[in-house]
């Protein structure tokens, strides 16, 4: 059932292979499913395997020089400034914004047939704007960013043609006109938000939100904070990573619950006593909802692949790998690998509590990447996903529509080709 997906054109053997080689006229790529190779690339020697600029080609119009695409000392400086904003009690501080966004999502739904991806995009964007800039999505600029991003993500493939050609830097990068236009509009709107926030910081009236924390944190080595242009780059990736990925995961989670009503019933029982205005302490009681969200991230990882480039001669599983090769780490394959996971294609939230899956979880589960480049907001995403899922299931029942099962495709994240349509009714 799950093999009719974004990678269905590739051989089924890739879900069993430890390593596979792909050749193009200009470079070689290696799919690495061996946990030892993944560990080498992400954890043991990450500096020898920087992010590939081939992925950056497609994302450059929107993300510029953001922390998602940079390498080396530039990336390290960016992380030194960004990471403190997500440390300590920040999750507890941002929790009320997540609750408010969840209440908004619950209230916007109406009984009947609903395209759930758009609803979850709205909810996730609401969380980002509230936690980052302390403004609701109804704010004029926030609303404009959200609607423009909906247009952008449908025009932007994960890879564009420039990723496959050895182009000199002065040649055009083959971005679609609509993609360039949407990216420019989004960056212009983000600039307005950053400039307004900078003015509030200077006046001493800025709220204690993530943007304030990041904009006022100097690099502990150089003493310099982000410039406005640098902050625009970072906000663009916060919106992409914090909104697009969360919306993708929540949409697939609700589809899976509709597909497996017995699992949905168990989740509904667990969340039945969740407060109308949940407290942070209640998260610890949402164990099954958390496992449902984990299992969704396994089957439908929002970022289906990551690409690194090796800078040193390597030997991997008795193959000589020359510098410049593209090392593809694919959560989509790794999370469904037949030689690693029991019942790899099955939706089984209970696997997260079984001892036999401990090794799989440690070695072959990376929805947020791993090592130094692990997603800064991973903890935030797990809280957001678990809580919003619980709040939605507490109030609504989600049912599959016969003949309208979604087909996953790779846009910026794993999305459904024609949306995810569910029939919903009040509990």
Q: Could you say which DSSP state residue 367 is in?
A: B
Identify the three-state secondary structure at position 365.
coil
Containing 351, the helix (H) or strand (E) segment is none
Tell me: the pLDDT tens digits for 375-418?
A: 988 999 999 999 999 999 999 999 999 999 998 887 778 888 88
DSSP string, 115-143: EHHHHHHHHHHHHHHHHHHS--TTSHHHH
Confidence of residue 139 (pLDDT cuts 50, 70, 90): confident
Q: Which residues of 114-126 are buried (b: 16+ CB within 10 A; e: fewer)?
A: bebbebbbbbbbb
| pLDDT exceeds 90 at position 10 | no
Containing 329, the helix (H) or strand (E) segment is strand 326-329
| pLDDT exceeds 70 at position 171 | no
Residue of 159 and 390 predicted with greater confidence: 390
pLDDT at 8: 59
| pLDDT exceeds 50 at position 174 | no
pLDDT at 170: 39
Q: Indicate the burial class of 49 (C-beta count within 10 angstroms; 0-12, 13-18, 19 or more).
A: buried
The strand pair at 19-23 and 408-410 is best described as: unpaired
Question: Per the structure block, which two tokens stand in for 7?
Answer: 């990678």
Identify the bridge partners of residue 28 per DSSP, sorted by sequence position. 23
**Mean pLDDT in residue range 41-45:** 96
**Mean pLDDT in residue range 140-159:** 73
Identify the three-state secondary structure at position 318.
coil
The mean predicted confidence, pLDDT, of the chain is 88
Name residues whose C-beta falls within 8 Å of residue 278's C-beta, 6 or more positions apart in sequence: 99, 387, 390, 391
Domain 51-302+369-426, CATH among 2.40.30.10, 1.10.940.10, 1.10.630.10, 2.40.160.40: 1.10.630.10
Query: How far apart are the C-alpha atoms of 328 and 315, rounded to whole Å?
Result: 16
Identify the three-state secondary structure at position 110.
coil
Alpha helices in 279-424 (DSSP H): 287-299, 331-334, 358-363, 378-395
Query: How far apart are the C-alpha atoms of 409 and 15, rounded to whole Å?
Result: 18
The strand pair at 28-32 and 19-23 is best described as: antiparallel
| pLDDT exceeds 60 at position 142 | yes
Query: How far apart are the C-alpha atoms of 209 and 134, rounded to whole Å?
Result: 6
pLDDT at 9: 62
| pLDDT exceeds 50 at position 173 | no
DSSP string, 20-64: EEEE-SS-EEEEE--HHHHHIIIII-GGGSPBPHHHHHHHHHHHT
Number of other residues whose CB lies within 10 A of the CB of residue 419: 15
Q: Could you say which DSSP state residue 354 is in?
A: -
CB 385 within 8 Å of CB 406: no
Q: Which long-range contacts (CB under 8 A, 24 or more apart) does 290-293 make?
A: 290/382, 290/386, 291/349, 291/350, 291/352, 291/353, 292/253, 292/256, 292/257, 292/263, 292/267, 292/349, 292/389, 293/249, 293/253, 293/382, 293/385, 293/386, 293/389
Containing 160, the helix (H) or strand (E) segment is none
| pLDDT exceeds 70 at position 217 | yes
Handedness of CA 276, 279, 285, 291 (dihedral sign): positive
| pLDDT exceeds 60 at position 210 | yes
**Mean pLDDT in residue range 52-57:** 74
Residue of 104 and 180 predicted with greater confidence: 104
Confidence of residue 157 (pLDDT cuts 50, 70, 90): low
pLDDT at 176: 60
Domain locations in the chain?
51-302+369-426
């Amino acid at each position: 059932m799950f093999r009719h997906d974004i990678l269905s054109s590739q051989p089924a053997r890739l879900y069993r292979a430890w390593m596979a080689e792909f050749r193009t006229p200009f470079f070689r790529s290696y799919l690495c499913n061996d946990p030892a190779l993944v560990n080498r690339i992400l954890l043991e020697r990450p500096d020898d395997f920087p992010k590939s600029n081939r992925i950056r080609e497609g994302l450059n119009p929107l993300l510029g020089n953001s922390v998602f695409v940079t390498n080396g000392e530039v990336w390290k400086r960016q992380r030194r400034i960004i990471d403190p904003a997500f440390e300590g009690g920040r999750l507890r501080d941002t929790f009320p914004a997540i609750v408010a966004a969840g209440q908004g999502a619950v209230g916007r739904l109406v009984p009947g047939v609903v395209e759930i991806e758009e609803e979850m995009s709205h909810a996730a964007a609401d969380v980002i704007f509230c936690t980052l800039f302390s403004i609701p999505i109804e704010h004029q600029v926030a609303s404009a960013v959200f609607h423009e991003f909906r247009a952008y993500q449908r025009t932007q493939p994960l890879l564009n043609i420039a990723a496959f050609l050895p182009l000199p830097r002065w040649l055009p990068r083959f971005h679609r006109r609509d993609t360039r236009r949407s990216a420019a509009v989004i960056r212009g709107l983000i600039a307005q938000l950053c400039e307004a926030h900078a003015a509030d910081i200077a006046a001493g009236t800025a709220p204690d939100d993530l943007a304030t924390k990041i904009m006022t944190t100097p690099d502990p080595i150089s003493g310099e904070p982000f410039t406005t242009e640098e902050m625009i780059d970072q906000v663009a990736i916060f919106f992409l990573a914090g909104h697009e990925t969360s919306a993708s995961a929540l949409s697939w989670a609700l589809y899976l619950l509709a597909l497996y009503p017995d699992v949905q019933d168990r989740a509904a029982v667990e969340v039945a006593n969740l407060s109308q205005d949940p407290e942070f302490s209640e998260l610890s009681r949402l164990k099954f909802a958390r496992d449902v969200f984990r299992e969704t991230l396994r089957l439908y990882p929002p970022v289906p692949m990551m690409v690194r480039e090796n800078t040193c001669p390597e030997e991997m599983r008795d193959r000589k790998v020359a510098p410049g090769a593209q090392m593809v780490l694919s959560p989509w394959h790794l999370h469904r690998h037949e030689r690693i996971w029991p019942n790899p294609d099955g939706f089984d939230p209970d696997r997260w509590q079984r001892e036999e899956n401990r090794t799989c979880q440690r070695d072959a589960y990376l929805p947020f990447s791993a090592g130094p480049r692990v997603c800064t907001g991973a903890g935030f995403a797990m809280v957001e996903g678990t809580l919003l899922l619980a709040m939605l299931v507490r109030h609504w029942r989600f049912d599959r529509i016969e003949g309208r099962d979604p087909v996953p495709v790779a846009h910026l994240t794993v999305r459904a080709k024609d949306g995810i349509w569910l029939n919903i009714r009040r509990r």
